[in-house]
Structure 1
Amino acid sequence: MSKKVDLDWGALGFSYIKTDFRYISRYKDGKWDDGQLVEDNNLTISEASTSLHYGQQCFEGLKAYRTKDGGIQLFRPDQNAKRMIDSCNRIMMPEFPVDRFIDACVQVVKANEHFVPPYGTGATLYLRPFIIGVGDNLGVKPAPEFIFSVFAVPVGPYFKGGMAPVNFTISEFDRAAPYGTGAAKVGGNYAGSLLAHEKAVERGFADCIYLDPATHTKIEEVGAANFFGITKNNEFITPKSPSILPSITKYSLMHIAENYLKMNVIERDCEIAKIDEFIEAGACGTAAVITPIGGIDYKGNMTVFHSETEVGPVTKKLYDTLCGIQSGDVEAPEGWIVKVQ
């Protein structure tokens, strides 16, 4: 590495650390400019920006991984780029092209190479691309201008304790509305989850689980992550709903479960009344990777899966295979890895 930073890689949590460079591109008069790396981590925008008043903004999350030979690689950045396009289309923002999205991420990683944690520390460099509506605007309509940016932060596990089972409780709140923006990665979905998360933590849980907004009978998401369950019949089950964010990690795990672990993979309803069909369960996402679910509290009754203290064997295999692919120790499916250097 060209530079060194004084960080305890093994002690990193999931919190903001200012790194040296970020990428920024501006959209005006119907086109994106060429974009550039900048050192300033502050944005100056109009007080009338739609992102401030009407929530016209979206974001993504992906990671850069250090490999055993010292290289750096990105995991499926094209999927993040395509999901951001879907989010933009949902809330009427201009698309940022896939190739430019990947190039921006690569530029940011290269410029902050010294912040990519060493191989084997369990830490990674988290990238946060985002688009916000800016410019002078007062009425409820799309912004006249937009900003696309990517910044990077070295991070450790999203949940304290890393790969250890934690308990969740069913929330009385809805994460998204039927036919709303649940499948888009927009800030409003997360703002609405803050109170539900706080109430769950106050009760001693890691986070809450949201049921479907229409009937409140089916599991949809686990906090800011997707849900999966493992049955005694060697099935990988995950909810299917138009209001669930399509997790890149979840779809990667579905591929791994089917092609690496030879499991039967099914997307279908996961009824809360039938969660005892699962012998293991977990939450998955870019930030969480895989967080084993020890138990789920529903109306005062706790359903425990494999264990509240030990990771289930299938969940462990899924985790090891996914992390192995991301860090270059396991052969990846074609197109999943982008080498940074």
Structure 2
Amino acid sequence: MAFSLNSYPVTYRAKYAGKAWTEEYLEKPHKTPAEEAALGADAANALSAARNFYTDMPLVGYTTQYGLSCFEGLKALPQKDGGLAIFRPDRNAARFNRSMTGLFMPGFPEDSFVKACVETVRQNARLGFRPPYQASWEKDSFMTADSIYIRPFTYAEGGIGVNISREPWVIIVTTPVSSYFSDGKSEAVVTERIRATPKGTGWIKAASNYVISALAKHEAADVGFMECVFLDATHRKYVEEGSSCNIFFRLKSGELVTPALGDTILPGITRSSIIELAKDRGVQVSERQIAIDEVFAEAVECFVSGTAAGATPIESLTHQGKKAVFNNGKVGELTAELRDTLKGIQYGTLPDTKGWMTPVL
């Protein structure tokens, strides 16, 4: 399934005007979950399309014409005890606010963001739109588990000239989601494309940033790779991140390295969580530049992290025709431990001692 455009029926929408936000919850067309599951392809597509259109919003505007928008991605996860909880929404709220102000939009209040995410998930769950917890997910460390993907994003007011958005909408939709990466080999390749440049918007979760990522990942997939990895724009030798995820390397010395944050790297929430979990285990974690040559000479494990990716092992990395294979192509010990701990907290099989999970039900 991975991502699905078949969004759940209840959507949140807020509009900035007159120096204040007004908000509403919209219940889009729907049937019961069982009735929707039984629909034929044409009827299901029609229902999905009806939920995805808003006839009272402008077609021509700074978002559709110039890509002026930012978004977030976070998950609500079924809990082993039958509940439903969102992973670290406060961190997404803070990043969303920074992204909006970084694009010279009015910032969206962080407490409103968290409340809206929780309430949107809750209202849909009460209509029956939520995945049930399945014990079978535990067998593969939740790598194929279902969850609810929460997508908050901005949409600009009407406009045709190059300009900033002063009265944007904030919309929150939720969709079912499963494993982001497909089964099979988890090989990656270094792309020649440049994701972000100094003094640009790489640190913002801007919609426009993902055009290059989508192209690079498509090119990688066309030649048989699961993922692509970007190098820095200036020196073309330092690893920065994957197509839509941060990246980690465990070196022969035991050091766990992830590229240092700057204006070309997105400050991932899963990234910071992984760093904290690794430090809890006494692992030396370094946030610093790491050259592709150092990766090939010293790295024994590699994984990418993100809301969709979780902590996904990378078995090999190819660069200029050369291939580095990590841990003989198998999941590394530290990678597995961090992945299992993160997923255990998220799905409620391990205690949430850090207060990362915000309950919905």
TM-score (norm 2): 0.86
Q: Does the 8 Å CA contact 2:10/2:25 hold for their aligned counterparts?
A: no
Residue 279 of structure 2 is aligned to residue 267 of structure 1: no
Q: Residues 6-45 of structure 1: matches in 2 within 5 Å?
A: 12-39=1-28, 40-44=51-55, 45=57
Alignment CA distance shift 1:106-1:33 (3 Å): same
Q: Which has the higher strand share?
A: 1
Which residue pairs with 2:36 in the alignment? none
Equivalence map 1:273-288=2 (5 Å): 273-275=293-295, 276-288=297-309
Q: 2:174 aligned to 143, 149, 152, which one? A: 152
- Provide closer, same or farther for how the CA distance between residues 16 and 47 of structure 1 changes in structure 2, counting only shifts above 3 A: closer
Q: Quick one: which amino acid aligns to residue 172 of structure 2? A: V
User: CA-to-partner distance for each residue in 1:244-299, whole Å, 9 max, x for gaps?
Assistant: 0000001000000111x221111011100111311100111001111111111000
Q: Judge conservation of contact 1:165–1:307 (CA < 8 Å) in 2.
A: no
Q: Judge conservation of contact 2:3–2:180 (CA < 8 Å) in 1.
A: yes
Deviation sequence 1:120-144 (CA, Å, 0-9, x none): 3411111001112122x23222234
SS in 1 for 2:358: strand
Pick from 93, 96, 100 the counterpart of residue 88 of structure 1. 100
118, 129, 136: which one aligns with 1:115? 129
Q: Within 2, Cα distance between the matches of 1:298 and 1:42? A: 42
Give CA deviations for 1:101-131 in whole Å, capped at 9, x if unaligned: 0111111111221332222341111100111
Show CA shifts across 1:214-246 (max 9, x none): 111100011111000112333221001411000
Shift of 1:332: 2.3
**Structure holding more helix per residue:** 2
Structure 1 gaps of 5+ residues are 1-11
4+ runs deviating over 6 angstroms: none
1:153-302 to structure 2, matched below 5 A, reads: 153-161=175-183, 166-242=186-262, 243-259=264-280, 261-275=281-295, 276-302=297-323
Structure 1 residue 168, shift from structure 2 partner: 0.8
Which residue of structure 2 lines up, in the alignment, with residue 74 of structure 1? Answer: 86
Amino acid at match of 1:24: R
For the structure 1 residues 150 and 229, does the alpha-carbon distance in structure 2 shift closer, same or farther, using more than 3 Å as the test?
Answer: same
Deviation at 1:340, TM superposition (A): 0.8
Match of 1:7 in 2: none
Equivalent in the alignment of 2:155: 132
Partner SS for 1:134: coil
How big is the shift at 1:15? Answer: 2.7
Structure-1 separation of matches of 2:344 and 2:185: 20
- What is the RMSD of the two structures over their aligned residues, measured on CA atoms? 1.5
Q: Distance in 1 between matches of 2:130 and 2:343?
A: 16
Paired residue secondary structure (1:106) = helix
AA in 2 matched with 1:156: S
Q: Among the aligned pairs, what percent are the same residue?
A: 37
Specify the code of the residue in structure 2 equivalent to 1:322: L
Q: Please, what TM-score do these two structures have when normalized by structure 1?
A: 0.91
**What is the CA–CA distance in structure 2 between the aligned matches of 1:235 and 1:21, rounded to whole Å?**
45
Secondary structure at the counterpart of residue 322 of structure 1: helix
Question: Residue type of the partner of 2:258?
Answer: T
Rounded Cα–Cα distance in structure 2 between residues aligned with 1:52 and 1:70: 40
2:221 partner SS: helix
Per-residue CA distance 1:127-167 (angstroms, 9 max, x = gap):
001112122x2322223421111111111111012xx7511
Alignment partners' CA distance in 2, 1:231 and 1:170: 19
Pick from 37, 57, 75 the counterpart of residue 69 of structure 2: 57
Cα deviation digits, residues 163-210 of structure 1 (max 9, x gap): x75111111110011120001001111012222122111111112110
Query: Does the CA contact (< 8 Å) of 2:261 and 2:267 recur in 1?
Result: no
Q: Secondary structure at the match of 1:34?
A: strand
SS in 2 for 1:174: coil
The equivalent of 1:6 in structure 2 is none
CA–CA distance in structure 2, aligned partners of residues 139 and 110 of structure 1? 39
2:328 corresponds to: 307
Select between 249-258 and 238-247 the one with higher mean Cα deviation: 238-247
Q: What are the superposed Cα offsets for residues 61-92 of structure 1, whole Å, 9 maximum, x if unpaired?
A: 00001111101111100000100111111111
CA contact (8 A) 1:27 1:147 kept: yes
Would the aligned equivalents of 1:168 and 1:209 in 2 still touch at CA under 8 Å? yes
| Counterpart for residue 5 of structure 1 | none
Amino acid at match of 2:226: A
Confirm or deny: 8 A CA contact 1:64 1:116 kept in the other structure: no
1:9 corresponds to: none
